[in-house]
Each structure stands twice: as C-alpha cells, then as structure tokens.
Amino acid sequence: MTAGIDPGCVRLRLGVEHGRICKVDVSSERPAIAPRLRGRPADDAVRLVPLLFALCGKAQGRAAALALAAARGEECNARIDAAIQTEALREHLWRWLLDLPPLLGGVPLREEFVAAVGWIAAGQRDPLAALLAGPRLEALCRALHAMEDVAAQPVTLLSPLDAHSSLREWPRLDAGFCRHPHWHGAAAETGAIARQGSPGTPAPALAARWLARLEELRDWAAGSEKVGAGGTASAASGTAGSGRALVETARGLLMHEIVLDGERIADYFIVAPTEWNFHPQGPLVGWLTGRDAGDRKALHSFVARAVAALDPCVRWDCQIAGDQPEKEVPA
C-alpha cells in the first residue's frame, strides 16, 4: 500500500510585473492520508502511519499511538519524549551542519554532523556544547548574518499548546483545517522560532529562524531544555471516541486526531508543520513580494534560502512568471 506514495510538494508561483514580484502563491500539496486509514482496524492503522512519512517518522508514529490511546480514554500530560527529542535535535543538526553551509557558499560539515549525532544518541552534552560554541559554528553565524536577508516583519507565532488547550481552541479538526490551519482566524508560524521567540540579539527574518534552531540545540547541550521544546508530546480525549495528540517536531507543531467507530478508524486528521509555515498567507508572501526579479539566478538563490529558513518536510519547486518549473528540490 505504501509503494508509489508521493509525500507531497510545496509549490511557489511568483508573478512578475515591471521587473518585480507582484504576486506570491504558496500551496502545500500533500497526499490525503485519511481515506487510506478509514475503516481499518485502529491498531493496524497506527502501525502504518510512520511508514507513510519519509521524515520525522518517530514523531509521526508516536503522535498516532498517543492519539489512539487518547481515543480509548488514556490521556498523556505534556512531557518531553526522548525518542522524538533526539529526532528533532538530529534534524536541527542536519540543517545547520549539512544544509546551511552550502547555502552560504561553503561545504557541508559532514564529520561534525556524524560526531554530533553520536553525542546526542549517547547523551553526551559537553562535546556538543563545545562544537556549538566553537569556531566552525561561529563562522557559520557570521556568514548567516552577512547573507542577503529581509528585515524582521510582524508575524503571528503559534503559542505553546498542549493537547487539552488545543481542544479548547479547535474542538474538532476537519479536512479544511488540515490544509490551511489557522490561529485565531489567521495564519501562524510554528517551529523553533515559535518555541524560542525572538533571538536575544535582533536578527533579520531568515537568520532569526536559523538561530532559533541553534538555541534549541544549545539548550539541550546545556541541559536546560524544558517541556514545550522540540520533542514535547501530549494527548487528550475528545468527544465521541476521539483522541488528539500534539507533538513538537523539529519543524513545529504536529497534530494527529483519531475518531473511532468501535475498534476501527472512522476518521483521521493530521496537521503537519509545513501546512502552518507554508500557509498561503504565511511569511513567504511578505518576504518575496516586491523583490527585484531582473536577475533570475539571484532571485532563485534567495527563494532557496527563504524556503530553507522555513524548512519544509517535503520537496519544493518554484515557477516565476512564464518560466518552466524548476527541478524539484529534496527536503
């Protein structure tokens, strides 16, 4: 059943007028999971869920299991789940050590990445703290601040939530909310930037999101991470045999909701961080609207950095005016 499943794509369509971007259309195209799970035995469906997602499989699987347990009446107060936390930290390291250097004109820090992943797996905080405070990361931070960026803009950051508080905000999920989630009627951003807030030192928009991930890594290395950080999970029972789980992944808030009919899945809803961060009214629109489109190579380079700052969990492509679509870029 899992063969041939396309994980989805974030598509950007940029309109150009008088040499500047005048229109930004953002869409997140994801496969419909609910139809594949409806009617299945609940335990079988939950075992299948992590197989359907290429990234954050631990978080997806744990969210599914917690949502099912909550639908059966077993709730879970917010706490840091070690396996999900490790997965989130590894994703942050991947972005900082492997993805960011090429975006800044350098080469991936592969040896540092392998070592750092091993330290986290072994619970060795001190060597990671040394790496994060060392010259390689300092150089990356300097290059990050020197790159072309955009001024910080007012954005709505998703407030910290656990499963119980989410039920007060959204008593039941539906397919429309899963496509375009909203916070108090507006688009909102999730992820480390929402969990950490603005960096201590003022930073432009793209750099601020990278620095928030770095701070989450540093918090773990210092042993100062708290509930609400990446890796936090909770679950609560709703009405009529429903259960909802919330998990803070590297990219932000992941929500799973299961509705049972006996011991079979009556309905299933998933809200992924990418749907929050690549909302049609999300931050990309403000970052790109009005930019000079005369130098297409420079524009494509900036778009790549802007997308990376928001970190989609699927590939992306971009079409500018009448251009042919770019080659899809792996997440």
The boundaries of the domain holding residue 245 are 31-281
Q: Is the dihedral of CA 204, 205, 207, 209 positive or negative?
A: positive
Inside any domain, residue 289: no
Surface-to-core class of residue 329, CB atoms within 10 Å of its CB (0-12 exposed, 13-18 middle, 19+ buried): middle
262: left (phi over 0), alpha (psi -120 to 50) or beta: left
* Residues 192, 210: Cα–Cα separation, whole Å: 9
Mean pLDDT by 10 residues, the chain (331 residues): 64 93 91 86 93 82 97 97 96 97 95 98 98 96 92 86 96 93 94 80 87 97 96 95 97 97 95 95 94 92 95 91 54 48
What local confidence, expressed as pLDDT, does residue 322 receive? 61
How far lies 189's CA from each of 25, 54, 94, 251, in Å?
17, 22, 21, 10
What local confidence, expressed as pLDDT, does residue 42 receive? 97
User: Could you tell me where the beta strands, DSSP code E, fall in 144-263?
Assistant: 232-237, 242-249, 252-261
Inside any domain, residue 22: no
What local confidence, expressed as pLDDT, does residue 240 receive? 84
Task: Name the CA dihedral angle for 138, 157, 95, 235, rounded to a multiple of 10 degrees.
Answer: 130
State the Rg of the chain over Cα.
Answer: 20
DSSP letter (8 states) at residue 104:
T
* Residues 209, 216: Cα–Cα separation, whole Å: 11
Inside any domain, residue 191: yes
What local confidence, expressed as pLDDT, does residue 32 receive? 78
Contact (CB, 8 A) for 163 and 70: yes
**CATH number for position 222:** 1.10.645.10
Number of domains in the chain: 1
For 328, the 3-state DSSP assignment is: coil
Inside any domain, residue 323: no
Q: Which two tokens stand for residue 243?
A: 């259960």
Count CB-CB contacts under 10 A for residue 163: 27
Q: In sequence order, what DSSP letters do the residues of 194-227 get, joined into one string?
A: HHH-S-SS---HHHHHHHHHHHHHHHHHHT---T
Inside any domain, residue 326: no
Inside any domain, residue 13: no
* Residues 163, 245: Cα–Cα separation, whole Å: 6
Q: Which two tokens stand for residue 313?
A: 């969990």
Q: How many residues would you count in the chain?
A: 331
Cross-strand pairs, 29: 9
What is the CA angle 152-88-7, rounded to 5? 90
What local confidence, expressed as pLDDT, does residue 324 receive? 47
Q: Which two tokens stand for residue 88?
A: 């989130």
315-320 sheet: strands from edge to edge: 20-29, 9-17, 315-320
Inside any domain, residue 298: no
Inside any domain, residue 325: no
Residues 6 or more apart whose Cβ sits within 8 Å of residue 105: 143
Q: Is the pTM of this model over 0.75?
A: yes
